[in-house]
Chain A
Amino acid sequence: MRVALFVTCINDALYPRTGQAVVTLLERLGVEVDFPDAQSCCGQPQFNTGYRHATEPLVERYADAFEGYDHIVVPSGSCAAMVRDNYPRIGAKAAAEGRGRVLSAAAERVVPRTYELTEFLVDVLGVTDVGAYYPHTVTYHPTCHGLRMLTLGERPRQLLEQVEGLQLRELEGAEECCGFGGTFAVKNAAVSSAMGADKARHIEASGAGSVCAVDNSCLMHIGGVLSRSGSQVRPLHLAEILASTRNAPL
């Protein structure tokens, strides 16, 4: 089984610890993981802002970079959803514009092999107890694209519930968007901030010491709102909790 990590651009540049946690976690589970250096960004910011044509080279790059791997593991619900839902659309539109099937073929090559981290753990490896230890209170925010585009369902919770010592706190309005939305966060800053403030309020009210999600982009927004308000609640990617053990605690 050849497994590649698609770390995503935001994790690469801003949250390398999440990528390191995925490597630690997968290796602990006996999976040999590779990091193809040709990878970069899935193109979601461009695509979702309307720049579909600017996204096209990145679709090809993704398909080429991950050629030959059985599984592509992505520690981001949003980036995994970009590949799975939108790459085929980009291919279909390019074909409709008379530019052939190159992008459609690229999409077909990668869509079935691309897994969000919790899908890979639960569906492919068939584990929910990954031997993690994190003796703290945590609340879980299901990020929108993981929840509604990938339909991750209970997978992240199943993994969290098996973490030794972890106390899961309920989050009011959990399934409501945090207000990040990529360029939405700056194009509609007032609404985005209002949504972020409500999310932060609910996170505070949960009484948890950290808020966990499968997307660092959403956590960047939530964490930015929390820290501006002086909150002590820590934003934490699920991978980092799952990588934490008794011997090497987070």
Chain B
Amino acid sequence: MSVTYLGMPPFPQAAQDSTRDTRLRSNLRHATHTIRDKRAGAVAELPDWAALRTAGAQIKDRTLRHLDTYLEQLEAAVTAAGGTVHWAVDAAEANEIVTRLVRETGEREVVKVKSMATQEIGLNEALEDSGIAAYETDLAELIVQLGDDRPSHILVPAIHRNRGEIRDIFAEKMGRWGRPAPDGLGDSPAQLAEAARLHLREKFLNAKVGISGANFMVAESGTLVVVESEGNGRMCLTLPETLISVVGIEKVVPTWQDLEVFLQLLPRSSTAERMNPYTSTWAGSTESDGPRGFHLVLLDNGRTDTLADQVGRQTLRCIRCSACLNVCPVYERAGGHAYGSPYPGPIGAILTPQLDSVETGLDASLPYASSLCGACYEVCPVAIDIPEVLVHLRERVVQGGTVTVRGQRTTVRPAKGHAAERAAMRAASWTFDHPRALRAGERLAVRARRLVPNRLPRPGSAWTDTRDTPRVPPESFRDWWRRTRTPAEATEAAGKGGEGKVRQERAGSARREGPTGGVR
């Protein structure tokens, strides 16, 4: 099963449409720049931020290195605390487990805490297929669900909507799901929040089953941790009789002391807060308080395969803060939907293709959805070198290679549609490795320089539709140097020598076949 949504086009195609949406561009620009600036301020307050960031990365790396040990420790601790642990190898298995658990309660409705893992596996849709209604209770997730929409941001899923749009969605749709919006609903934040509060209160009070994810799981005590801002999570985690948490296996940390590092890194990176308003922690279940039954579904869904890749595994450090989305110039223009999965932005561009066991055209395009500007790496609180992973995944797309799929080492072939590019790249490398061919090429360009039109046919039009082409100068630097800096009699010898020296030293490679036989 793919993490991407069905029928999504490759990224460039989707982004071509979304960049033209001026309202979306303006919503996103305003929202991302506001969060971005606030994050910078919150981070700058801590003199030891760099050390915290390093600690975060190292704790995650160490935990991932011994993931089997910590997961078993966690399972034992959760079980001892009265919870039941289930292991799900993929999305289908996780959905089956959750559906069965809900059915066993006899309930037809569940309330949900905002959770990336359940979006990743398409849990709401799976429950709906079994006649179970899942109600999102996070404000932004509610907006997305009522609007029959998709989330476009990890932290603020309705970032693509403005107040007016939200008002319309509430007024039109709330009544179909439960308590309708008050008459004459305005678009002030206070009015919108009040409408959501009244609507959701009904859900909280009636729900017998809650479903959540978790930000962290502490192995030593079997404690799950959810951090949130609205209090809806606390409601869902404490009011229902049964609580089911679906959590990716990479969310485990060994100890509470380790957790302390992340409780500093996460709020400042995601909401630019020193501390998030609600931090809920629980282990198992108790008779006297909160849910009587607690189930933890540990989700793999491609994570073990990702862990097998030496470069790609750093992706699993991610704590879903979304700081990378908020600074990404590509995300800001293309919007989250163009990434075609619940994980948009730079982290999505590296996470989605790695989690997917079936490569789609969209998966192959995602690693290219970046100018490699490095802003994401700079703000990442666990120092994921996203540009490094992007380039690594691009290699997999065009060169193929060995990957792990469901625990098996598998050779993947290069993705389709790169034949012309591959030929061009190889020809370029060959030319650059043969200075005389390079010089001939440069001189040809100089002679033809007045023939270069300002508007090129495809594929050159991808450049010239919006940009003028640079003018080819009358002389290359190389020729200028030879003309002005090298004595006349030495010129010929130097030219040959320059090429010959390297050639002789690398005799093995000097006789390689070139793609353009006539040049030499």
Mark A residues whose CB is within 8 Å of B.
Answer: 7, 9, 11-17, 19-20, 35-38, 40-41, 43, 45-55, 57-58, 60-61, 64-65, 86, 89, 96, 144-145, 147-149, 175-177, 179-197, 220-221, 223-225, 227-228
Contact = CB atoms under 8 A, between A and B. Distances in A.
A188 B331 CA distance: 12
12 contacts: A14-B473, A50-B395, A51-B395, A57-B433, A64-B506, A148-B373, A191-B12, A191-B330, A193-B465, A195-B329, A221-B467, A225-B467
Classify the interface of chain A: helix, strand, loop or mixed. Answer: helix
Nearest to B466: A193
B308 interface: no
A20 B478 contact: no
B209 to A, nearest CB: 42
Given A14-B473, A189-B462, A48 B374 contact: no
B426 A54 contact: yes
A35 B468 CA distance: 31
Interface in B1-34: 11-12, 15-16, 19-20, 25
Contacts of A185: 462-463
Nearest to B396: A50
Contacts of B506: 60, 64
Nearest to B426: A54
Given A11-B477, A12-B478, A181-B371, A61 B433 contact: yes
A16 B470 CA distance: 12
B445 A179 contact: no
B445 A13 contact: yes
Contacts, number: 211
B473 A49 contact: no
A224 B329 contact: no
B49 interface: no
Nearest to B498: A37
B422 A51 contact: yes
A39 B501 CA distance: 11
B480 A20 contact: yes
B375 interface: yes
Given A37-B478, A40-B438, A50-B391, A55 B429 contact: yes
Contacts of B391: 47-48, 50, 86
B371 to A, nearest CB: 3
Contacts of A52: 395, 399
A139 to B, nearest CB: 18
A188 B368 contact: yes
A181 B463 contact: no
B334 interface: yes
A49 B329 contact: no
A183 B502 CA distance: 29
A64 B459 contact: no
Nearest to B338: A191
A219 B333 CA distance: 21
Contacts of A177: 329, 371, 373, 375
A193 B467 contact: yes
B369 A38 contact: no
Contacts of B330: 188, 191, 195
